[in-house]
Amino acid sequence: MVRTETSAVTFRTAEGRAVPAVSVEQMREVDRIAVEDFGLGILQMMENAGRSLAENVIEMLGDARGEIAVLAGSGGNGGGGLCCARHLHNRGLAVSVLLSKDASDLKGAAAHQLRILRTAGVEPLDSAKAEGAVGRSALVVDALLGYSLHGPPRGRVADLIAMSNRKGRRVLSLDLPSGRDATTGETPGQVMQPERTLTLALPKTGLRGLPGALYLADIGIPPAVYRRIGLSFEWPLWDQYWIPLRQ
C-alpha cells in the first residue's frame, strides 16, 4: 500500500481550500482501491471524466461554434477523449476524431468507447487528414497520453502533439498535457502546450508550474479511497463537478 501523511505539492481552490497532489504511484493505488475494493467501474469513472471534459469544451467555446478535433490515445486517457467526443456529438457539435493508433489496435475501455461512438455515426479520420482537421478546428482536445508516460512520446503521438502546437488555435488537455511527466513535470520530448488542463480526481505533482489554466474534475471517487493512502480530501463544492485550481 502507498501511504503519505501529507502531499509535498498542494494546490488550492478559488476559495483557498487546500487540494493535495499525488504522484503516479499514488494515483495508480487510488485507481486500484477504487476498482478492486470499492467496486467502481473504469467505464463509470471514464464517463464522468468525458462528460466534464465536454462541458469544459463547451465553456471554452462560449458563443463561438466550430469543429472540435479530439486526439485520442489507446489507453484510458484516450477513452475519456472518445467519451467526450460522443457527448459533444450528442449536442450537435461538429467533432473530428483522430486516433494515435489504428482503430483495430485499441483495447479495453478505449475500444469500448470507440464502438459506441462509431455506432452513433462518428468515424475516426484517416491520419492523412489529421493536419487539416487540427488546422480548421476551433479547439483541439488532447486525450493522447495519461499519467503513465514512459520516455518521450513517439510515432503518431509525437506527430499529433507537434501538429497541435503548430496548427491548433486552442488546446484543452485531459488530466495533464501529453508528454509531461505526471510526477516530476519533466518533458523528455514533444509536449502539448494547452490553454487549459482538466485533471482528474486529484491534481498530479508534475502539474506544478504548469502554464495555462488548471481545473479539477470529480470522477466519483469516494473520500474513503483517499484515506486509504493517508490523504484527507473531500470534494469542496457540493454543486459543481469541476472547479478551477490555483498553485
Domains of the chain: 10-246 (3.40.50.10260)
Contact 173, 198 (CB under 8 A): yes
Mean pLDDT of 75-92: 97
* 8 — pLDDT class (breaks 50, 70, 90): low
With H, G, I as helix, E, B as strand and everything else as coil, classify residue 182.
coil
Percent of residues, the chain, with pLDDT higher than 70: 97
Taking residues 165-173, report their average pLDDT: 96
- Region 1-7: what's the mean pLDDT? 44
8 A C-beta contact, residue 144 and residue 71: yes
Q: Which long-range contacts (CB under 8 A, 24 or more apart) does 30-38 make?
A: 30/201, 30/202, 30/221, 30/225, 30/226, 30/229, 33/225, 33/228, 33/229, 34/221, 34/222, 34/225, 37/225, 37/228, 38/222, 38/224, 38/225
Cell output for 108: 479495453
Using CA atoms of 236, 239, 243, 246 in order, give the dihedral in degrees to the nearest 10.
-40
What's the confidence (pLDDT) of residue 35? 98
Distance CA(106)–CA(41), nearest Å, equals: 19
Q: Please enumerate in sequence order all residues whose Cβ is within 8 A of that of 180, keeping only pairs 6 or more positions apart, or say none.
A: 149, 186, 187, 191, 192, 206, 207, 210
Look at residue 149 and tell me whether its pLDDT is greater than 90: no
For the stretch 24-81, pLDDT in tens is 999 999 999 999 999 999 999 999 999 999 999 999 999 888 999 999 999 999 999 9
Residue 141 is placed in which grid cell? 482536445
- Statement: residue 3 has pLDDT above 60: no
- With contact defined as beta carbons under 8 Å apart, do 128 and 100 qualify? no
Residue-by-residue DSSP string for 43-97? HHHHHHHHHHHHHHHHHHHTT----EEEEE-SSHHHHHHHHHHHHHHHTT--EEE
Taking Cα atoms as reference points, which of 29, 21, 24, 81 lies closest to residue 52? 81
Phi, psi angles (nearest 5°) of residue 158? -60, -40
pLDDT of residue 2 exceeding 60, the answer is no
- Tell me what the mean pLDDT of segment 231-245 comes to: 96
At residue 247, the pLDDT reads 85
Mean pLDDT of 155-175: 97
- C-alpha 181, offset from chain centre: 14
Phi, psi of 43 (to 5 degrees): -65, -35
**pLDDT averaged over the chain?**
94
Query: Which of 3-17, 66-80, 207-221 has the least mean pLDDT?
Result: 3-17
